[in-house]
Structure 1
């Protein structure tokens, strides 16, 4: 693949292609070893898509699996394994775009106030929440930050996004203070110092997980994983819901990505240009950012119905 795809996307495509081959082998009652990779046509692909639809897979999942098969067909034709790509005429299933989950401005303010700031880990958590909301970073972008990627005096963060594209994103004074307070905590400095004093053999193993000078670390000095940050955010959302007397189940869909959605939605609602939001989010296409206009339209309607005396 010469396309600039992420590791996760490549793995997903490999899995999708494997599922198609297994399905094809099952239909033909043959083992996958006995099935030539070139032995498929558009009818076989349509049969596979029909099976996915029957299983209740979303249009997005079907589209991705078809994309994997199409890329495979292009590869076979390019390598002259087949004369004509049998899949190129198949139309991708139409996607129903769901409005992204987000928090309201007052809810976001309450969530940001949840972490205690006594321990270094609490300060770290506070900084994570503030940076998410102040910059709209993706989860993978946030955990990939090194200390030197942030300019706290200029309040700018340098981000490497999808496809290796770099962008600079501003953040506010609240995020800058939260990060500075976290970096200044003496216990964090002790964790860093202890990690550097590890024996050379253990340091070599550790370096694979650190890679640079990670901003957000765990108690061992390792870079926080995406899973750890996801759990962290969900834990604070649950605690916030309980504190506010809300049912936590109603907010279980609020993830780190929902904080990114909140960032974009609140900026658009306050009049920021859609193109500027696209650049801040690192979207390659404006169409991806366009979904937030639907969200603010719905929000505007909801506010009108609640506020207008005759609505």
Structure 2
């Protein structure tokens, strides 16, 4: 019966709330781990769970050395799950009510300097078809701040090079229109004219960015390329798939962009998520002050 309710909950998240596949996989993994824990303790149903069981489970995760962010994610999954069970009248009382997540230390994302971005974007060899693709991908990512998953999901019709924008689908399949600069548009046009047609195997392939086999490039494939180009550019920072997205947002705010506009472009549902980049720009302002003020 426990598995039944988990599957019902996941179906609700997918159909009624339209959550992304990655988010659903995370809920599935975390909840089935919780069910295994219940089974080990001979707790036969999710309806029999009490507040002290939830607290014991979270404590066990902490004792295993799980990071506060991981413990918070598990609690968030359980809160959402039991809220659903309460709504469906499967349980009388929600055992997660008033349970707080562990305090999270704010981790600021790694950001490239404008010079490092230029060095990275200059790495692909545009004399080759794959180089044209990689140049277009990197330029578009930095020009728009798309998530890597959004970049990989783009189809050719999602581009409007003449007007300079891209249509993408973010978390929860929410559509947004993001402007791009002339440099990215030019690189995309060159890739479409001279690179993509040599990479695709079938004329009706919809994917914008394809691999050497003519199929849609994966996030893992992009990640390998990004790491290689970062090494070639001599960048010693800890590069992650979202590094160009973080750099996009930070550089916009450093140059006076409106926070709400950046929120819209990034596709953040809550502006507090975008505000982390204001901390980065404040840190940069302090660095500039320390470097340049005669009495710093």
TM over 0.5: yes
Counterpart pick for 1:195 among 202, 205, 210 = 202
Which 5+ residue runs of structure 2 have no aligned equivalent? 1-11
Q: Secondary structure at the match of 1:157?
A: strand
Post-superposition CA distance 1:151-185 (Å, at most 9, x none): 11111111111112111111111111111111111
Matches of 2:137 and 2:291 in 1, distance apart?
34
State whether structure 2 residue 252 is matched by structure 1 residue 267. Answer: yes
Matches of 2:175 and 2:89 in 1, distance apart?
37
Matches of 1:126 and 1:220 in 2, distance apart?
19
Q: Secondary structure at the match of 2:233?
A: helix
Runs of 4+ aligned structure 1 residues displaced above 6 Å come to none
Q: Which residue of 2 aligns with 1:233?
A: 226
Matches of 1:88 and 1:4 in 2, distance apart?
25
Matches of 1:83 and 1:189 in 2, distance apart?
60
Q: Secondary structure at the match of 2:83?
A: helix
Quick check: 265-274 or 52-61, which moved more?
Answer: 52-61
Q: Which residue of 1 aligns with 2:4?
A: none
Give matches, 1:17-28, under 5 Å. 17-26=31-40, 28=41
State whether structure 2 residue 70 is matched by structure 1 residue 64. Answer: no
Q: Which residue of 1 aligns with 2:98?
A: 89
Matches of 2:93 and 2:232 in 1, distance apart?
57
Matches of 2:29 and 2:135 in 1, distance apart?
37
Is 2:129–2:198's contact at 8 Å kept on the other side of the alignment? no
Q: CA deviation at 1:89?
A: 2.4
Matches of 1:72 and 1:155 in 2, distance apart?
42
Counterpart pick for 2:55 among 46, 62, 73 = 46
Matches of 2:110 and 2:198 in 1, distance apart?
38
State whether structure 2 residue 278 is matched by structure 1 residue 305. Answer: no
Give matches, 1:125-274, under 5 Å. 125-185=134-194, 188-192=196-200, 194-196=201-203, 213-241=206-234, 250-251=236-237, 253-274=238-259
Is 1:41–1:86's contact at 8 Å kept on the other side of the alignment? yes
Matches of 2:179 and 2:52 in 1, distance apart?
50
Is 1:123–1:181's contact at 8 Å kept on the other side of the alignment? yes
Q: CA deviation at 1:64?
A: 1.4
Is 1:132–1:256's contact at 8 Å kept on the other side of the alignment? no
Matches of 1:36 and 1:160 in 2, distance apart?
38
Q: Which residue of 2 aligns with 1:203?
A: none
Matches of 2:86 and 2:267 in 1, distance apart?
33
Q: CA deviation at 1:62?
A: 1.3
Matches of 2:180 and 2:240 in 1, distance apart?
20
Give matches, 1:82-121, under 5 Å. 82-121=91-130
Tell me the TM-score normalized by structure 2.
0.90
Matches of 1:17 and 1:134 in 2, distance apart?
38
